[in-house]
């Protein structure tokens, strides 16, 4: 991610400036290698189970609280009126472990309930807090990429279980890769297959082509589940830190798909059911108890 990428989006969509401030903070934090200290060990992966599924994450809650508060304050000061109430949230009033766990697992009902308990509008709260886990998820993807199964063909992400943000058709071989907007992962996929419902009936699979860009940008559609996926033809894949920006930069395709009655699935592609526990303090590590 470069400043020019953000500036270009800000010029094209001036109203997005507050949200781009939040995205920039998230992607800058995602490059921090210290998040890898919380990545659990993973030595085995089933062919359809993401690495993060069912694991216990021993997290540095001090780091999480600091990042959580910074992100909320960044959003609150971004200039968007709907984000300004987030500045009133103090870290003492939020269960940081529960918040982080819900963000990792894409558990929107839990985040919704937390917003209601805090007496704050759920929409801006969910929009921002859903990004709290992104730096950790990027660290997981970096650590586990060498362990990824070449045979992975599920439509959801092999690292975090999220649905792909878009697909890339790369090079002269026109190999198809799916890209995760949460952790930046990439995985190869079949071309004539719906990533969401695994429908392979070519009679039910379609393609929407915007006139302006020809075949370089397209929308894959499925008439069975009414899902859609943006697809870009390029020589090489986007860097993991650019996935969120590439997704935003092509929002016109999302609008076109929605106008045709297609939609994105709600919730994660795979329910992780992971748990977050606090990393033991110095006293617990030395004496086996808190001091």
Note every long-range contact of 83-86, with CB atoms under 8 Å and residues 24 or more positions apart, other chains counting: 83/18, 83/22, 83/124, 83/128, 85/120, 85/121, 85/124, 86/120, 86/124, 86/125, 86/128
Torsion sign over Cα 105, 89, 32, 246: positive
| Token pair recorded at residue 270 | 């795979």
- Can you give the pLDDT at residue 212? 67
- Can you give the pLDDT at residue 29? 96
Please list the pLDDT of the chain residue by residue as tens digits (291 residues): 566 788 889 888 899 999 999 999 999 999 999 999 999 987 677 788 999 999 999 999 999 999 999 999 999 999 999 999 998 887 667 899 999 999 999 999 999 999 999 999 999 999 999 999 999 999 999 999 887 777 888 999 999 999 999 999 998 888 999 999 999 999 999 889 999 999 999 999 999 987 765 678 999 999 999 999 999 999 899 999 899 999 999 999 999 999 999 999 999 999 999 999 998 764 444 444 443
Can you tell me the distance from the alpha carbon of 103 to that of 269, in angstroms, rounded to the nearest whole number? Answer: 14
Torsion sign over Cα 103, 109, 115, 121: positive
- Can you give the pLDDT at residue 89? 85
> Within 10 Å of residue 280's Cβ, how many Cβ atoms?
13
3-state SS, residue 120? coil
Task: Name the one residue in this structure whose structure tokens are 């070449």.
Answer: 150
236, burial (CB in 10 Å: exposed 0-12, middle 13-18, buried 19+): exposed
Can you tell me the distance from the alpha carbon of 21 to that of 24, in angstroms, rounded to the nearest whole number? Answer: 5
| Token pair recorded at residue 53 | 């599924």
User: In this structure, are residues 38 and 57 in contact, taking their beta carbons and an 8 Å threshold?
Assistant: yes
Can you tell me the distance from the alpha carbon of 143 to that of 280, in angstroms, rounded to the nearest whole number? Answer: 22
User: In this structure, are residues 24 and 42 in contact, taking their beta carbons and an 8 Å threshold?
Assistant: no
- Can you give the pLDDT at residue 287? 41
User: In this structure, are residues 271 and 105 in contact, taking their beta carbons and an 8 Å threshold?
Assistant: yes
């Amino acid at each position: 991610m470069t400043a020019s990428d953000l500036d270009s989006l800000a010029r094209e969509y001036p109203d997005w400036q507050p949200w781009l401030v939040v995205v920039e903070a998230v992607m800058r934090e995602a490059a921090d290698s210290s998040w890898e200290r919380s990545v659990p060990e993973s030595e085995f992966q089933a062919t359809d189970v993401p690495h993060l599924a069912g694991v216990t994450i021993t997290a540095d809650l001090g780091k999480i609280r600091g990042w959580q508060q910074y992100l909320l304050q960044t959003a609150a000061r971004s200039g968007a009126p709907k984000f300004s109430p987030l500045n009133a949230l103090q870290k003492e009033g939020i269960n940081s472990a529960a918040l982080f766990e819900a963000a990792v697992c894409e558990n929107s009902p839990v985040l919704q309930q937390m917003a209601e308990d805090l007496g704050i509008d759920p929409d801006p709260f969910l929009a921002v807090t859903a990004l709290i886990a992104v730096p950790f998820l990027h660290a997981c993807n970096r650590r586990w990429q060498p362990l990824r199964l070449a045979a992975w063909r599920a439509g959801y992400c092999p690292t975090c279980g999220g649905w792909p943000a878009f697909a890339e058709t790369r090079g002269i071989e026109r190999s198809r890769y799916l890209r995760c907007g949460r952790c930046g992962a990439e995985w190869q996929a079949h071309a004539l297959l719906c990533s969401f419902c695994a429908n392979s009936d070519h009679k039910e699979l379609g393609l929407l082509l915007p006139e302006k860009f020809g075949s370089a940008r397209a929308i894959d559609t499925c008439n069975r589940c009414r899902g859609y996926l943006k697809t870009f033809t390029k020589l090489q894949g986007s860097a993991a830190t650019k996935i969120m920006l590439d997704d935003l930069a092509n929002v016109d395709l999302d609008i076109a798909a929605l106008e045709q009655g297609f939609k994105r699935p709600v919730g994660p592609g795979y329910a992780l059911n992971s748990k977050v526990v606090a990393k033991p303090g110095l006293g617990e590590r030395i004496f086996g108890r808190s001091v």
